Amino acid sequence: MPTSDNPPFPAALRLFSAGVIIVLIVGAGLFFAPALVKPRWPWPVTPFSARFLGGFYTAEMAVMAALLFWNRWSPGRLVLVMAFIFTVIVSAVSLINLGYFSFERKAAWLWFLVYLASAAVSGLFLWQARARPSAKGVTLNPAWRGYMLAETVILGLYGVGMLLFPLMVSSTWPWPVDPFHAQVYSAIFLAGAGGVYLVCRSAPREELLVLGLAQFLVGLLAILGLVITDAAVHRIGWTATGTVCWLALFGWIGISGVFKLYAASRYFSVQSAS
């Protein structure tokens, strides 16, 4: 894409992206090395929560790596909007649940420092670029637009439900989820809803790629984490209605990501041919 349509971000944002990726490596450790990371986490996490959060942080790390690689308005607009939604919600939820944190440890202070700083930085960059239109993208056909609007509504409503009615909504999850974790998880769905809505309105190839990759990894790693953890503790009722619905939800998120990756590859093929 031409620079005038898709300008680069300041070098400071690339430095910010690199710093966030370093922090996310620790979060991803909850999935790949939970025994090592769990004792150092800012609050106690169960085996299932650890793998679920670790899978999400792995997906977030991939998204931030895309921003570090491109460092342009597209996909930066998408990444920053999703990061802003996620960090603001998690920061607010953490502030109203201070009892979960042990401030005698550095990890708790670092948690708030990282999240509040990330929310401030992403919000500042978005505010400075608030008047800039999206980069030139593909016009979605009515079927795609309708699907992505429905996807926005489903993810948004589920996220709001987890945030406002955490016990009720999370009661259908395969493992016990307390209100604090349910509200933290709500940020994942609300950030996803924000990203899908943004791309639904205008779909540059880079943003389709990043959103598709994020959804694919979130769906895949959530299910894979559940399987791996239960192989050790054997606590999941795999035929229970709640478990089947949960698997269907994250399976749908992952498959939806695959479709977006496919759409982005087709867009690239058309651009190359022209």
Tell me which residue has tokens 């953490």: 94
Q: What are phi and psi of 164, to 5 degrees?
A: -90, -30
What is the arithmetic mean of pLDDT over 62-91? 94
Residues 6+ apart with CB under 8 A from 253: 192, 215, 218, 219, 222
What pLDDT is attached to residue 111? 96
pLDDT class of 268 with cuts at 50, 70, 90: low
pLDDT class of 272 with cuts at 50, 70, 90: very low
What pLDDT is attached to residue 4? 65
What is the arithmetic mean of pLDDT over 70-79? 91
In contact, 179 and 17? CB cutoff 8 Å: no
Rounded CA separation 56/53 (Å): 5
23-52 residue pLDDT tens: 999 999 999 999 999 999 999 999 999 999
What pLDDT is attached to residue 2? 43
191-213 residue pLDDT tens: 999 999 999 877 888 999 999 99
Tell me which residue has tokens 């190359």: 272
What is the arithmetic mean of pLDDT over 239-259? 97
Rounded CA separation 186/161 (Å): 8
- Does the pLDDT at position 113 exceed 90? yes
- Does the pLDDT at position 274 exceed 60? no
Average pLDDT along the chain: 92
What pLDDT is attached to residue 135? 80
What pLDDT is attached to residue 269? 54
pLDDT class of 1 with cuts at 50, 70, 90: very low
Lowest-confidence region among 72-76, 110-114, 210-214, 218-222: 72-76
pLDDT class of 140 with cuts at 50, 70, 90: confident
